[in-house]
Structure 1
Amino acid sequence: MVVEQRRVGNLPAARTRLVGRRTELADIGRLFAGAARLVTLTGVGGVGKTRLALEAAAGLQPRFRDGAWLVELSPLRQGGLLAHTIAEALPLADQTTRPMIDVLTDYLADRELLLVLDTCEHLTDECALTVQALARAAPGLRILTTSRRSLNAPGEEVLTVDPLPVPETDDPVAAQADAVVLLAERAARSIPGYEATDAGRAQLIGLSRRLEGLPLAIELAAARLGELSVRELTERLDDRFAVLGETEQVVNGTEPPWHQALRTAIGWSHQLCSPAERLLWARLSVFAGTFDAETARLVCADGHLAAESITDLLAALVDKSILTWQPTGGGERYRMLDTLREYGAGWLRRLDEEDELRRRHRDCYRALAHRADAAWMGPDQLAWYERTTAEHANFRAALDFCLADEEDGHTALELGGALWFFWLCCGFQREGRHYLDRALQRCPTPGPARSKALWACGTAVLQQGDRDAVARLGKEFRADAEAAGNPAMLIAAALLDGGYFMLCENPAQAAAEFEAAPYTQDHGGEYLGARLLTWLTHTFTHTGLGKYADAAAATDALRAECVTRGERWIRAYADYVQGLAAHGLGQLDRAATHARTALEGKALLHDSLGIALAIDLLASLAAATGRGERAARLLGIGQQTWDTIGRSQIGLPELLAAHEACERQARKTAGDTAYETAFRKGLEDSIDDGIAYALHQT
């Protein structure tokens, strides 16, 4: 029996209605309904490729059992992380050492989904190789890309996105042309109560013709209609003040005639900005992805641009459609379209400020990483999770800038090491290892920054299960710790040493390493997270050795310290270990309470591993109490997450044995048919619905 799965994906809600594009939408649908596996939307900057792709994907999503997924490539400046970026969007939280492209192909092999790769022009070679590998491995995969030039990949279908149709006459019927409709809609947003008269419609027709149907040019022009009439605005455009020049890429080696309209609209918008607005526009071009007002002040303000003026200037640039404003759960953020960022970057180079601003950006995010590191084990952990994940693209950009400079390896070590919690706790172990390995190779000189980076890299590879790398990094870090005579570093070294023995399936030796470390004592310094992690991992070895009473006592003390500090991430794992201990002691109700508490904490921080472990424990408890169908459904819910992690039960023998015992008991209680039905239901639940079911006390 074929079971229809839920519709899933990560497509953003449309902020504005797509005007026109009926023919293009139909063409995309027709191609994917046929034999096309890869469709690329090409066209000049500002023609609306992204908006069209999102509208098409939203319409196509019901055709795909596993939904439609957007991967934004604009903030990605290095092709080496392309596969990682796709995995993060899916989301695929793989914690193995396999090449990420292999992880992706395995994950997608039996799935039916639409993958939207947006803004590929700066990574066309990497994108072409990646989509070929994915398409070969996954027959149910369809890929829609946007790019200013084609990928030149085998089997690629290329659709050129032209500007919106513009009227050739001033006849009233011409007001129904798509370009005029878009301009009228945007005018109504800029001018409350706006209604076009016959004369006004004629002016809109003339202006849309002047803008040659380019959606971005129309957006920029319409943003001025609150202060200029349509006639005045058209006259300003006739001046053709500015030239976009080298900041606009040419498609297919020739320059289409409507490039001049885009140059004019952007240059004209630039001209009408105040000097301070123009300077901020240029300086904001160093940001990748989104940013907030605080970091804009820190990076952009100086003697030429007062810090107290930044908030008002940001608002002014939003009003002029240079920036888009994005309210989020973590506060207000801003984004600049790629074409406008390129224009600002061109002016930044002309001002000879590019290197200086990129250094400021690097220093700002290094300082932010240190602040987050110092506060991570405290009451604001959830807020720091939201803040640092929102700044992911900017951390990448800062690290890439450091590693591109032969003399800046030390800063890369410092930044990468301070972000240990981001790599380990927020699910980016692979990316952390990618950057830390490069930084450690670039800067071999011993020192505190290198030591912290060694430990950070060690925790990432420990999570991946790479024994050889853990041994190598642990040995080097322990030598640093002993040379420094730093008790906090010695405790951190014990985490890597004991972790190595756990990977070697030697829990007794692991426990001996942990017991030798005085982790219950607070030695201060920057290795607080290491101390609590060592304590936590020791409690887990107790359960592996069957010392459930010892595990319960040690975890009670650890959890109490976490509560005092207001810390959540380790506390939730402590709740999980308390559940394991209670289960081992036969205290099943208490174990279930701890497991649900752990799941609630891990869901807040989107910790895939913690979620999977807690759900597995709840499944074991359901099986132990005779609820076979509930256990089966929970195993199905958990399997979804294990599939994204890549190592079922993180490869630990005791967890694998518990999982197998749970399945046997659930099948025995429910029967094979009922078990398979319930398990399939768990696989088909959305993760949010699955967590809600797991937390329901039945």
Structure 2
Amino acid sequence: MRDLPSGTVTFLFTDVEGSTRLLHELGAQPYAEALAEHRRLIRAACAAQGGVEVDTQGDAFFFAFPTASGALASAAEATTALASGPIQVRIGLHTGTPLLTEEGYVGADVHFGARIAASSHGGQVVLSRATRELLQEHFILNDLGEHRLKDIDEAVSIFQLGDDSFPPLKTISNTNLPRPASSFVGREEELAEVLARIERGARLVTLTGPGGSGKTRLALEAAATLVPEYKAGVFWVGLASLRDPALVLETISQTLGAKDGLAEHIAEREMLLLLDNLEQVIEAAPELSQLLSACPNLTLIVTSRELLRVQGEVEYPVPPLAEREAVSLFCERAQVEPSDEISELCARLDNLPLAVELAAARVKAISPAQILERLSQRLDLLKGGRDADPRQQTLRATIDWSYDVLSEEEQALFARLSVFAAGCTLEAAEEVCEADLDTLQSLVEDVPLVVELRGGGPGVTVRQ
């Protein structure tokens, strides 16, 4: 049997990038010759540093080294030797203490090393933290942050040999931020102000405002902008369906896949969490404050109709859209040109994003002038509630009006969908609400519903 190293071993995995494409581009004979030369160069580079060939399959190699420095030196030599040829190889290194049997190595370290290699690109050498910690300072290594690998529960740190630029690693995304179905209109100043608060060191930024003011949309845009800044990831945690404050930390844990305690999982990781719609479980604020204290590199963006009122909180009251932004939003959503009627309509809606979008959805059926007239009639009916927030009156009028113009079938389905406080999948809507696809599609197109991509596919969310 081959004399494989035992104890602490560094694995080196290689794979040719785009081998099928290269075969078609070069032709069978030239590709075979290039592949043979690639194998010769890799074997020579690894043998020179004491590497032992464990396995080879097709155009992929698996080597084992007694030292991490030898493995990395081999990877560097092989990459340099192959640089001028048609074949580019991705290389991954990981160090562990696998079980050595008569059949070879057994253990999670083998799979981990293969996943590390699969995340890289041709010409790129990447390595795990376990390998990094055994290396001397003379290697130039670039910290690529924490990443999620297939079939690996915890996020892992990945480093790159050298400082060359490569595309993002091919890992599971380090963010679960929902991808809005529509574009982000305006709000440049507001976005800059939210980001500035975090750049100045705020670790708890609460976006406040009435329903429909655009808190969630602004928070999502800010979080998406910050993804490159947080090595451990940026994650959205939807809380709209919760009613028990005791479930807030549990919901965060489930989102992150934390199994051994939330604070222990986050620890010193550089992570940002967007806690969306916290107001109905605001009593969880002290626990969130404790989490921030326990995790020094954690940042929270919160959307809520009220403040958490804990130490270190920085508020950002989300204002209505500027007049020109509200008009732009209406025109983009309705696909119409600006007009005086649209400007007046947006003003009557207090330039609230949700109200503007609801009104824009009606342009397929009636003109902006007709919308303005009918909306005015509806608002007249709501006068008299002196203790109600004027903004809420305006938004409620818009929603009431949108509901009234639905067909009986659409109204019935709209009411049934209300049981899903945090949205639902198409399958759930069909099963629980007995929804037919045509009626559901009509609601998606014409009333305050949006389609968002969340994990497994499209779902329906009743906006509030």
Q: TM-score, normalised by structure 1?
A: 0.40
Alignment-derived partner of residue 271 in structure 1? 404
> Does residue 1:9 correspond to 2:171, yes or no?
no
Aligned equivalent of 1:214: 352
1:115 and 2:255 matched: no
The reply to whether residue 299 of structure 1 matches residue 432 of structure 2 is yes
Match of 1:183 in 2: 330
User: Aligned with 2:390: secondary structure?
Assistant: coil
Alignment match of 1:106 (pick from 253, 258, 264): 264
Other-structure match for 2:311: 154
CA contact (8 A) 1:243 1:267 kept: no
Whether 2:447 is the aligned partner of 1:321: answer: yes
* 1:78/1:187 CA distance change after superposition, 3 Å: same
State the one-letter code of the partner of 1:182.
L
Partners of 1:328 and 1:9 in 2: how far apart? 12
Q: What amino acid is the match of 1:150?
A: L
CA contact 2:242–2:280 (8 Å) conserved in 1: no
Matches within 5 A, 1:466-615: none
In structure 1, the residue matched to 2:163 is none
- Larger relative helix fraction: 1
Q: Higher strand proportion, which one?
A: 2
Cα shift readout 1:216-266 (whole Å, capped 9, x = no counterpart): 111111111011011111111111169899xx9x9xxx7543223212211
> 1:286 corresponds to which residue?
419
Q: Look up the SS of the partner of 1:240 in the other structure.
A: helix
1:240 aligns with 2:378: yes
The question of whether the paired residues in 2 share the 8 Å contact of 1:117 and 1:145 is answered with: yes
Which residue of structure 2 aligns with residue 133 of structure 1? 290
- Measure, in 1, the Cα distance between the counterparts of 2:301 and 2:427: 36
Deviation string 1:110-155 (CA, Å, 9 cap, x unpaired) is 10111110010110011x1222111111111111000011111121
What amino acid is the match of 2:289?
A: Q
Corresponding residue for residue 437 of structure 2: 311
Structure 1 counterpart of 2:246, from 80, 86, 90:
80
Distance 2:357 2:308 in 1: 28
Structure 1 position 159, deviation (Å): 0.9
Q: Deviations over 1:351-370 (max 9, x none)?
A: xxxxxxxxxxxxxxxxxxxx
| CA distance in 1 between partners of 2:264 and 2:316 (Å) | 29
Change (3 A) 1:17 1:155: same
For residue 122 of structure 2, what is the aligned residue in structure 1?
none
Distance of aligned partners of 1:282 and 1:154 in 2 relative to their CA distance in 1, 3 Å threshold? same
CA spacing shift, 1:113–1:259, aligned 2, 3 Å: same
Look up the SS of the partner of 1:5 in the other structure.
strand
Q: Deviations over 1:501-546 (max 9, x none)?
A: xxxxxxxxxxxxxxxxxxxxxxxxxxxxxxxxxxxxxxxxxxxxxx
RCO higher in 1 or 2 (8 Å CA, sep ≥ 6)? 2
SS in 2 for 1:143: strand
Structure 1: segments with no counterpart, 5+ residues: 97-102, 167-176, 189-193, 302-306, 340-698
Cα gap change, 1:4/1:185 in structure 2, threshold over 3 Å: closer, same or farther? same
Structure 2 SS opposite 1:144: strand
AA matched with 1:119: N
Say yes or no: does 1:65 pair with 2:231.
Answer: yes
**Separation in 2, partners of 1:143, 1:130:** 13
Partners of 1:116 and 1:143 within 8 A in 2: yes
Tell me the CA shift for residue 297 of structure 1: 4.5
Q: CA deviation at 1:331?
A: 6.4
Equivalent pair of 2:146/2:231 in contact (CA under 8 Å): yes
**Identity over the aligned pairs, expressed in percent?**
40
For residue 237 of structure 1, what is the amino acid of its counterpart?
A: L
Q: Does 1:22 align with 2:188?
A: yes
> Which letter does structure 2 place at the counterpart of 1:48?
G
Counterpart CA distance in 2 for 1:336 and 1:58 is 23
Root-mean-square deviation (CA, aligned residues, Å) is 2.7
Query: Does the Cα contact within 8 Å between 1:38 and 1:156 map onto a contact in 2?
Result: yes
Contact 1:318 1:325 in 2 (8 A): yes
